[in-house]
Amino acid sequence: MSRSLRQRALDYFHHNPTVRAWSLVAPGGLWLLVFFLVPVFMMFTYSFMPRGMYGGVESGFTLEHYLRFFDSLYLTILMRTTVDATVCTVACLLLGYPVAYAITRAGRFKGLLLFLVILPFWTSFLVRTFAMIFLLRDTGLINTALQSIGLIDEPIVMLYTPFAVMLGLVYGYLPFMILPIYASLEKLDLSLLEAAEVLGARPAARFFRVTLPLSLPGVVAGALLVFIPSLGSFLTSDLLGGAKEILIGNLVQNQFTAARNWPFGSAASFVLMALVLVSVLIYLRVRERSGDAAGAP
Amino acid sequence: MVDADAAPVVEFRRVSKTFGSFRAVRDISFEIRKGEFFSLLGPSGCGKTTTLRLLAGFESPDEDGGEVRLHGDVVNKKRPYERRLAMVFQNYALFPHLTVERNIAFGLEMRGASKSEMPDRVVAAMSMVRLDAKTFGRRLPAQLSGGQRQRVALARALVLEPSILLLDEPLGAIDLKLRKEMQLELKQLNEQLGTTFVYVTHDQEEALTMSDRIAVMDNARVAQLGSPAEIYENPRTRFVAKFIGESNFVEATVSDRTEGGWRAVTAHGEHLIVPDHKTIAAGRAVCIAVRPEWLDIVRPDAVPAGENALTGAVRDVLYMGETLHVLVALPGDRSMTVALRNEGQFLRPIPWRRGDEVAVAWMPVDCQVLEEE
Amino acid sequence: MHSLKLPAWLIVLVGAVYVFLHAPLLVLVLFSFNDSKFSVSWEGFTLRWYERLLERDDILEGLQASLVVGVTSTVFATVFGTLLALALARYKFKGRLMLEGLLYVPIVTPEIVVGISLLILFVLVGFPLGLPTVIIAHVAFNISFVVVVVLARLQGMDRTLEEAAMILGADELTTFWRVTVPQLWPGIVAGAMLAFTMSFDDYVITSFVSGTGSQTLPVVVYTMVRKNVEPSINAISTLIIVATTILIFIAERVARDKPLTPAKD
pLDDT > 70: percent of chain B: 98
Q: How far is A292 from chain C (nearest CA, A)?
A: 22
CATH number, residue C70 = 1.10.3720.10
pLDDT in the model for residue A204: 84
What integer is the mean pLDDT of B281-297?
A: 92
Q: Higher pLDDT residue, B57 or A242?
A: B57
- Evaluate if residue B18 carries a pLDDT over 70: yes
When mean pLDDT is compared across A25-39, B2-16, B230-244, C114-128, the lowest value belongs to B2-16
What integer is the mean pLDDT of B131-143?
A: 93
CB A89 within 8 A of CB A97: no
For domain B246-369, give the fold.
Answer: OB fold (Dihydrolipoamide Acetyltransferase, E2P) (2.40.50)
- Evaluate if residue B240 carries a pLDDT over 90: yes
Closest Cα to residue B260, out of B370, B365, B366, B371?
A: B365
Residues of CATH 2.40.50.100 domain(s) within chain B? 246-369
- Evaluate if residue C4 carries a pLDDT over 60: no
Q: How far is A20 from chain B (nearest CA, A)?
A: 16
pLDDT in the model for residue A290: 66
Give CA–CA dist B266/B163, Å, rounded.
52
Distances (CA, A) of B116 to B109, B120, B122: 11, 8, 11
Q: Does the pTM of the predicted model rise above 0.90?
A: no
CA atoms within 13 A on the CB side of B351: 6
| Average pLDDT in chain B | 92
CB A266 within 8 A of CB A47: yes
- Evaluate if residue B151 carries a pLDDT over 70: yes
Q: Is residue C3 part of a domain?
A: no
What integer is the mean pLDDT of A95-120?
A: 91
pLDDT in the model for residue C3: 46
If pLDDT is split at 50, 70 and 90, which confidence band does A93 have?
A: very high
| Residues C170, B110: C-beta atoms closer than 8 Å | yes
pLDDT in the model for residue C39: 66
pLDDT in the model for residue A169: 95
- Evaluate if residue A261 carries a pLDDT over 50: yes
Q: Is residue C71 part of a domain?
A: yes
Q: Specify the number of domains making up chain C.
A: 1
For domain A64-295, give the fold.
Answer: MetI-like fold (1.10.3720)
Largest distance between two CA atoms of chain C: 71
For domain B10-239, give the fold.
Answer: Rossmann fold (3.40.50)
Residue of C nearest to B162 (CA): C168
Q: Is residue C18 part of a domain?
A: no
Task: Tell me how far the alpha carbon of residue C110 is from its chain's centroid.
Answer: 16
- Identify the three-state secondary structure at position A81: helix
Give CA–CA dist A11/A275, Å, rounded.
48
Bridge partner list, A154? none
When mean pLDDT is compared across A225-234, A279-288, C189-198, C201-210, the lowest value belongs to A279-288
pLDDT in the model for residue B135: 92
pLDDT in the model for residue A201: 84
pLDDT in the model for residue C251: 76
| Average pLDDT in chain A | 88
pLDDT in the model for residue A291: 58
CB B7 within 8 A of CB B72: yes
Domain that holds residue C240: 48-256
pLDDT > 90: percent of chain B: 81
Give CA–CA dist C165/C181, Å, rounded.
13
The residue of C92, C159, C167, C185 whose CB has the most chain B CBs within 10 angstroms, and thus the best one to mutate to test that interface, is C167
Residue A16: list chain B partners with CB under 8 A. none
Give CA–CA dist C216/C93, Å, rounded.
40
| Average pLDDT in chain C | 88
| Residues C96, A235: C-beta atoms closer than 8 Å | no
**H helix intervals, A187-233:** 190-198, 203-206, 212-231
Give CA–CA dist B263/B261, Å, rounded.
7
What one-letter code names the amino acid at A233? S
| Phi, psi (deg, nearest 5) at residue B40 | -105, 115
Give CA–CA dist C71/C74, Å, rounded.
5
pLDDT > 70: percent of chain A: 96
- How many residues can be counted in chain A? 297
pLDDT in the model for residue A296: 39
Residues of CATH 3.40.50.300 domain(s) within chain B? 10-239
If pLDDT is split at 50, 70 and 90, which confidence band does C2 have?
A: very low
pLDDT in the model for residue C264: 37
pLDDT in the model for residue A213: 87
- Evaluate if residue A276 carries a pLDDT over 80: yes
Q: Is residue C139 part of a domain?
A: yes
- Evaluate if residue B261 carries a pLDDT over 60: yes
Residue A172, chain C, CB below 8 Å: the answer is no
Q: What angle do CA B9, B15, B16 make, to 5 degrees?
A: 150
pLDDT in the model for residue A2: 58
| Phi, psi (deg, nearest 5) at residue B128 | -60, -35
Residue C167: list chain B partners with CB under 8 A. 56-57, 80-81, 83, 85-87, 166
- Identify the three-state secondary structure at position C207: helix
Q: What is the pLDDT of residues C51-91, one digit of tens each?
A: 988 888 888 899 999 999 999 999 999 999 999 999 999 88
Q: Which of residues 113-172 of C touch A (CB under 8 A)?
A: 113-114, 116-121, 124, 136-137, 139-141, 143-144, 147, 171-172
- Evaluate if residue C262 carries a pLDDT over 70: no
Give CA–CA dist B282/B262, Å, rounded.
8
Q: What is the pLDDT of residues C208-245, one digit of tens each?
A: 999 887 789 999 999 888 886 678 888 999 999 998 88
If pLDDT is split at 50, 70 and 90, which confidence band does B3 have?
A: low
Q: Is residue C113 part of a domain?
A: yes
Q: Delimit the domains of chain A by residue range.
A: 1-46, 64-295
For A188, residues 6+ apart whose C-beta sits below 8 A from its C-beta are: A104, A211, A214, A215
Give CA–CA dist A237/A254, Å, rounded.
13
If pLDDT is split at 50, 70 and 90, which confidence band does B1 have?
A: low
If pLDDT is split at 50, 70 and 90, which confidence band does A134 have?
A: confident
Q: Report ipTM for this prediction.
A: 0.88
If pLDDT is split at 50, 70 and 90, which confidence band does C92 have?
A: confident
What integer is the mean pLDDT of B343-371?
A: 91
Q: Is residue C227 part of a domain?
A: yes
